């Protein structure tokens, strides 16, 4: 992959988790052990932004400086004090009324009141809409939000200098921490409020939950990632359970046709402890979004590989354009590659992965007893399926015969099984269950020529004998989990 921008916009998923793990109850055990450095947007630092009012066509919005505020001197924040707090507010986007739509009509200035104490977090949007619609100044709102505790050392900001709807009138954009939930992963929400017919309404809300972090905006330097003259928002959130925190990415843009914000992502991106970069890597004016999967620092997570997913603008959406996975060192990871190719219908590539998993002596095992024998048997079973899916009957039979021969139980005094009967299998050998699956599949497949019916027979066997494939689920929670239906992918 090409060298990246010298100033990437990064969010290392739960970088502060390493600092707070020992101090905050319920934090995942697999958090990173070392605090990361952030070039621009820092989850552990508040963004301080001066708010602006809409400008006339003849005026440009001046650049606004911002003073980063470092972690407060608590036990958790103190542990994160090595983080570089370099965030400052970027130059505001100049606005020209009527770029894509008539300028919105905003309320006349007024003097509404905000409650002294913060309402329930699920009423924040309603409270802010009422205040802004009454002509309240965003600068006063910022002060009250600060008093409510929505700006903390872990995030939170408000700004009113970016036009996100193409009408030349800036919206009010806020990322607010939930003052009622101040424990890891520090929940919050993202709101966009816009003018309409002399009042404000909520145009977008990211959503909040106790196990989700507040959103972190990633494209602070490039407001228009797809170069269509409408400002966009790229943000990430972390969602945690008791074992792992996953980073999900979202890209939103205003739809002039639907009069609402919508996602620009072709598919969901969700990776554990991920780092995300938004940058124009190719110098064509279009930003790429690069998501680097992080490692889960826990033995229970199992063996892992680094993975980098690059999304590019295809003219309509941000879609996955490239997935760069580290070379496999473990046999199970080669099998995962084969299973991924099989699900995608790339049977030729799947066959190559399965053949390697069955024969490559350099591949490592993890911890399951006789793991290599079990996985080699699974590899040959899946190789038979991949060849059958391509109509390569001879190759499929060769894979079947090789697997069955390795597990055939030869009775005393006999060299070959009784003609016309299926050979008896030595169920005491590691991996024999996959040989039995191959035998079941091949018997039905040769009788009917229907891979779907043959797979149904295999699935039925696996459901009655779940221990037959438990080896595939013995590699920790950072690796895929298999069900009986996953063993044979054709038909029902």
The pLDDT assigned to 491 comes to: 77
Q: For the chain, 492 residues long, give each residue's pLDDT as a single digit of tens.
A: 433 333 333 333 333 333 333 233 334 433 333 322 222 232 322 222 223 223 233 333 222 222 222 222 222 232 232 222 222 233 444 455 567 889 999 999 999 999 999 999 999 999 999 999 999 999 999 999 999 999 999 999 999 999 999 999 999 999 999 999 999 999 999 999 999 999 999 999 999 999 999 999 999 878 999 999 999 999 999 999 988 899 999 999 999 999 999 999 999 999 999 999 999 999 999 999 999 999 998 999 999 999 999 999 999 999 999 999 999 999 999 999 999 999 999 999 999 999 999 999 999 999 999 999 999 999 999 999 999 999 999 999 999 999 999 999 866 445 455 455 678 899 999 999 999 999 999 999 999 999 999 999 999 999 999 999 999 999 999 999 999 999 999 975
Residues 352 and 266 in one domain: no
The pLDDT assigned to 292 comes to: 97
Q: How many CB atoms lie within 10 A of CB 233?
A: 24
Domain boundary among 325, 357, 392: 325
Residues 336 and 275 in one domain: no
Range of the structural domain that residue 317 is part of? 10-325
The verdict on residue 5 lying in a domain is: no
**Cα–Cα distance measured from residue 145 to residue 51, given in angstroms and rounded to the nearest whole number:** 13
**Cα–Cα distance measured from residue 420 to residue 162, given in angstroms and rounded to the nearest whole number:** 78
Residues 298 and 430 in one domain: no
Domain boundary among 310, 325, 340: 325
Q: Are 17 and 294 in contact (CB under 8 A)?
A: no
Burial 289-314 (b: 16+ CB within 10 A, else e): bbbbbbebbbeebbbbbeebbbbbbe
Residues 238 and 195 in one domain: yes
**Cα–Cα distance measured from residue 461 to residue 454, given in angstroms and rounded to the nearest whole number:** 11
Residues 222 and 118 in one domain: yes
Domain boundary among 298, 325, 352: 325
Residues 424 and 476 in one domain: yes
The verdict on residue 236 lying in a domain is: yes
Show Cβ contacts of residue 125 under 8 Å, excluding neighbours closer than 6 positions: 191, 202, 205
User: Coil, strand or helix: which one is 469?
Assistant: helix
The verdict on residue 492 lying in a domain is: no
**Cα–Cα distance measured from residue 202 to residue 182, given in angstroms and rounded to the nearest whole number:** 25
Show Cβ contacts of residue 346 under 8 Å, excluding neighbours closer than 6 positions: none
The verdict on residue 4 lying in a domain is: no
Residues 119 and 264 in one domain: yes
The pLDDT assigned to 297 comes to: 87
The verdict on residue 3 lying in a domain is: no
Show Cβ contacts of residue 440 under 8 Å, excluding neighbours closer than 6 positions: 454, 457, 458, 461
**Cα–Cα distance measured from residue 376 to residue 490, given in angstroms and rounded to the nearest whole number:** 21
Show Cβ contacts of residue 286 under 8 Å, excluding neighbours closer than 6 positions: 225, 226, 227, 280, 312, 313
Residues 463 and 478 in one domain: yes
Q: Are 13 and 272 in contact (CB under 8 A)?
A: yes
The pLDDT assigned to 221 comes to: 79
The verdict on residue 491 lying in a domain is: no
Residues 259 and 369 in one domain: no
The pLDDT assigned to 421 comes to: 62
Residues 367 and 385 in one domain: yes
The pLDDT assigned to 420 comes to: 53
Q: Are 453 and 280 in contact (CB under 8 A)?
A: no
The verdict on residue 187 lying in a domain is: yes
Residues 321 and 426 in one domain: no
The verdict on residue 291 lying in a domain is: yes
Question: How many domains, in total, are found in the chain?
Answer: 2
The pLDDT assigned to 98 comes to: 63
Residues 236 and 135 in one domain: yes
């Amino acid at each position: 992959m090409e060298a990246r921008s010298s100033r990437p916009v990064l969010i290392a998923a739960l970088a502060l988790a390493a600092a707070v793990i020992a101090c905050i109850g319920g934090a995942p055990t697999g958090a990173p052990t070392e605090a990361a450095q952030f070039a621009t947007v820092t989850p552990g630092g508040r963004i301080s932004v001066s708010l602006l009012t809409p400008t006339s066509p003849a005026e440009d919005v001046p650049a606004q400086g911002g003073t980063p505020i470092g972690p407060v001197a608590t036990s958790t924040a103190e542990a994160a004090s090595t983080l570089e707090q370099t965030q400052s507010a970027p130059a505001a986007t100049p606005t020209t009324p009527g770029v894509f739509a008539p300028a919105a009509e905003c309320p006349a200035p007024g003097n509404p009141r905000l409650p002294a104490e913060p309402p329930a977090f699920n009423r924040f949007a309603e409270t802010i809409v009422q205040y802004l619609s009454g002509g309240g100044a965003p600068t006063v709102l910022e002060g009250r939000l600060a008093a409510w505790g929505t700006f903390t050392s872990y995030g939170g900001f408000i700004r009113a200098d970016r036009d996100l709807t193409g009408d030349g009138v800036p919206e009010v954009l806020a990322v607010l921490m939930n003052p009622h939930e101040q424990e890891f992963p520090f929940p919050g929400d993202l709101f966009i409020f816009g003018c309409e017919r002399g009042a404000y309404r909520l145009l977008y809300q990211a959503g909040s939950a106790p196990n989700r972090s507040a959103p972190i905006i990633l494209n602070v330097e490039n407001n228009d990632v797809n170069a269509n003259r409408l400002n966009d928002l790229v943000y990430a959130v972390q969602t945690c359970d008791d074992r792992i925190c996953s980073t999900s990415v979202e890209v939103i843009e205003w739809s002039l046709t639907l009069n609402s914000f919508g996602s620009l992502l072709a598919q969901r991106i969700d990776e554990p402890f991920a780092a995300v970069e938004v940058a124009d890597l190719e110098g064509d004016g279009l930003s790429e979004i690069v998501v680097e999967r992080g490692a889960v620092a826990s033995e229970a997570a199992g063996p892992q590989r680094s993975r980098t997913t690059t999304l590019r603008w295809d003219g309509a959406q941000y879609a996955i354009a490239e997935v760069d996975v580290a070379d496999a060192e473990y046999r199970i990871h080669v099998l995962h590659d084969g299973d991924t190719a099989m699900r995608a219908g790339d049977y030729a590539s799947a066959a190559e992965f399965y053949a390697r998993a069955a024969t490559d002596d350099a591949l490592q095992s993890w911890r399951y007893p006789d793991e290599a024998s079990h996985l080699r048997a699974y590899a040959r079973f899946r190789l038979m399926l991949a060849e059958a899916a391509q109509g390569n009957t001879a190759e499929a039979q060769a894979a079947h015969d090789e697997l069955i021969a390795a597990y055939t139980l030869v009775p005393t005094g006999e060299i070959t099984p009784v003609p016309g009967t299926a050979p008896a299998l030595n169920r005491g050998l590691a991996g024999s269950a996959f040989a039995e699956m191959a035998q079941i599949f091949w018997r039905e497949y040769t009788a009917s020529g229907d891979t779907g019916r043959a797979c149904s027979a295999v699935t039925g066997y696996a459901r009655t004998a779940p221990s037959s494939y438990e080896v595939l689920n013995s590699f920790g929670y950072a690796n895929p989990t298999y069900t009986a239906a996953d063993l044979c992918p054709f038909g029902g």
